Amino acid sequence: MALASRLWRFLRVGRGAPGPRFPSGTPGSRGQCGLRPFRRSEVIGNARTFKSGLLFSALSYLGFETYHIISQAAVVHATAKEILEQADYLYESGETEKLYQLLTQYKESKDAELLWRLARALRDRAQLSRTSEEEKKLLVYEALEYAKRALEKDESSFAAHKWYAICISDVGDYEGIKVKIANAYIIKEHFEKAIELNPKDATSIHLMGIWCYTFAEMPWYQRRIAKMLFATPPSSTYEEALGYFHRAEQVDPNFYSKNLLLLGKTYLKLNNKKLASLWLMKAKDYPAHTEEDKQIQTEAAQLLTGL
């Protein structure tokens, strides 16, 4: 529209302005001042030349404006791409604070890819040990808001579904047991959608395994509350959880220390100490890149000692 309006203004310059003033001869004055009246063929020829020149100029202007707008769009696109690449690099490097500082500059963005990364960065900052409980709560709710915006912008983004579900789960810790159980249905729905959109994303599969594990080990009193509140409360089994954890490992072997730990813990729940020991040893020996990795190493070591 901006290009069309600029071209329209360009073309109106000739329409609104007075045309060329040709000398008009009266009968008997043909030789005065050395001027002669234009013949019809000359006037038509000049008009055609004028129109051709105007058309050429208009097309040139149109071409320039099109190039200018496309170039601007390319620059914006390239910049957005660079931001995403930088964000992913910082995330993989475990630079939580730097990632947070980078992405909080783009809170007004309408790009779903950037918004879900911002939600992830906010959540990761909330998980830092030095983050106070008050700040953690604020970050968790803020992360949910950006995850929701990402999903609204692009419902076909598997990552937006995944992080929306994760953030809803985090908020549940502050909302009470009734809300937490009610949210479980929504969480499961979005994890399943993320897996459907991208069956090769090991994290989404792993998170679906956690969902199953959580409800498989739900304490009896919570089950009782769930039955009082819902006709069919969410439920699952350790076998179902184990299936998702193994599936995640098949998609991307050793992608996450917690998946290794939960494989070991699930086998413990199923009284298979041999396989439990195998996966717990892998979790203990996993290279620690993050605070979470260190915590998982410690827990795995403790569980192995108990065996």
Instruction: Look at residue 15 and tell me if it is in a domain.
Output: no
Q: Tell which phi-psi region holds residue 146, choosing left (phi > 0), alpha (psi between -120 and 50) or beta.
A: alpha
What local confidence, expressed as pLDDT, does residue 89 receive? 95
Comparing C-alpha atoms, which of 119, 123, 122 is closest to residue 159? 119
Say yes or no: 166 and 78 in one domain: yes
DSSP 290: S
pLDDT of 2 > 50? The answer is no
CATH code for position 201: 1.25.40
Answer yes or no: do 135 and 210 share one domain.
no
Residue 162: Cβ-neighbour burial (10 angstroms; 0-12, 13-18, 19+): buried
Residue 284 lies in a domain: yes
Q: Is residue 24 part of a domain?
A: no
Residue 264 confidence (pLDDT) above 70:
yes
Q: For residues 15 and 17, what is the distance between their CA atoms, to the nearest angstrom?
A: 6
Q: Are residues 229 and 262 in the same domain?
A: no
Exposure class string for 59-90: b at 16+ Cβ within 10 A, else e = eeeeeebeeeeeeeeeeeeeeeeebeeebeeb
What pLDDT is attached to residue 71?
Answer: 41
Q: Which of the listed residues 143, 170, 197 is the one where a domain comes to its end? A: 170
Residue 202: count other Cβ atoms within 10 Å of its Cβ. 18
Residues 184 and 218 occupy one common structural domain: yes
Closest CA to 280 of 255, 253, 307: 307
Residue identified by tokens 């009193």 is: 221
pLDDT digits (tens, 9 = 90+) for 226-261: 888 787 888 999 999 999 999 999 999 999 999 999
pLDDT digits (tens, 9 = 90+) for 161-183: 999 999 999 999 999 888 888 89
Average of per-residue pLDDT across 133-156: 97
| Two tokens, residue 83 | 């931001």
Residue 108 lies inside a defined structural domain of this protein: yes
Least confident of 100-104, 142-146, 218-222, 302-306: 218-222
pLDDT mean across residues, the chain = 80
Output the domain CATH number for residue 135. 1.25.40.10
In a domain, 26, yes or no: no
Total structural domains within the chain: 3
From CA 177, how far away is CA 170, in angstroms rounded?
13
Do 24 and 37 form a contact (C-beta atoms < 8 A)? yes
Q: At residue 146, does pLDDT exceed 90?
A: yes
Same domain, 78 and 166: yes
At 37 the pLDDT is 38
Long-range contacts of 119-124 (CB under 8 A, 24+ apart): 119/143, 119/144, 119/145, 119/146, 119/147, 119/150, 119/163, 119/164, 119/167, 120/91, 120/163, 121/87, 121/91, 121/96, 122/146, 123/163, 123/166, 123/167, 123/170, 124/91, 124/96, 124/99, 124/100
Give yes or no: residues 166 and 244 share one domain: no
| 271: alpha, beta or left? (left if phi > 0; alpha if psi -120 to 50) | left
pLDDT on residue 22? 30
Question: Are 80 and 161 part of one and the same domain?
Answer: yes
| pLDDT, tens digit (0-9, with 9 covering 90-100), for 93-141 | 889 999 999 999 999 999 999 999 999 999 999 988 899 999 999 999 9
Say if residue 158 is in the same domain as residue 187. no
Checking if the pLDDT of 16 tops 90, the result is no
Domain boundary (255, 270, 290) is at 255
State the Cα–Cα distance between residues 58 and 4, nearest whole angstrom: 11
96: in domain? yes
Q: Are residues 251 and 261 in the same domain?
A: no
* Structural domain boundaries, residue 286: 257-306
For the record, the structure tokens of 57 come out as 């100029």
Domain check: are 242 and 278 in the same one?
A: no
Q: Considering only residues 119 and 36, tell me which one the structure prediction assigns the higher pLDDT.
A: 119
Asked whether residue 197 is domain-assigned, the answer is: yes
Q: Using the predicted structure, report yes or no on whether residue 305 has a pLDDT greater than 70.
A: yes
What is the model's pLDDT at position 13?
Answer: 34
Predicted local distance difference test score (pLDDT) of residue 17: 36
Inside any domain, residue 205: yes
pLDDT of 25 above 50: no
Do 78 and 165 belong together in one domain? Answer: yes
- Residues 214 and 263 placed together within one structural domain of the fold: no
Look at residues 130, 149, 170 and tell me which one is the last residue of a structural domain.
170
- Residue 8 pLDDT exceeds 90: no
